[in-house]
Amino acid sequence: MSTLAVIVSIWALVATCAALFIRGASPRLERAPVLAERRPARAPIAE
């Protein structure tokens, strides 16, 4: 392999890993309402 091909493939790998990391670390706003609906409401504490 030529040196240029090695450098390009390393940069492509780094860019792919960075994109997957950023996508996985971002908050998923569309799933929050679904989780809130599934969570049972707690009964208030009677005094």
- Could you report the per-residue pLDDT of 2-42, keeping only the tens digit for each? 999 999 999 999 999 999 998 887 776 665 555 555 655 67
Residue 12 domain-assigned (yes or no): yes
Given this model, what pLDDT does residue 35 score? 53
Structural domain including 11 reads 1-25
Residue 16 domain-assigned (yes or no): yes
Torsion angle of C-alpha atoms 27, 28, 30, 35, degrees rounded to 10: -100
- Alpha carbons 15 and 11: distance in angstroms, whole number: 6
Residue 19 domain-assigned (yes or no): yes
Residue 35 domain-assigned (yes or no): no
Supply the pTM of this predicted model. Answer: 0.51
Residue 45 domain-assigned (yes or no): no
Given this model, what pLDDT does residue 7 score? 97
Residue 17 domain-assigned (yes or no): yes
Number of domains in the chain: 1
Residue 32 domain-assigned (yes or no): no
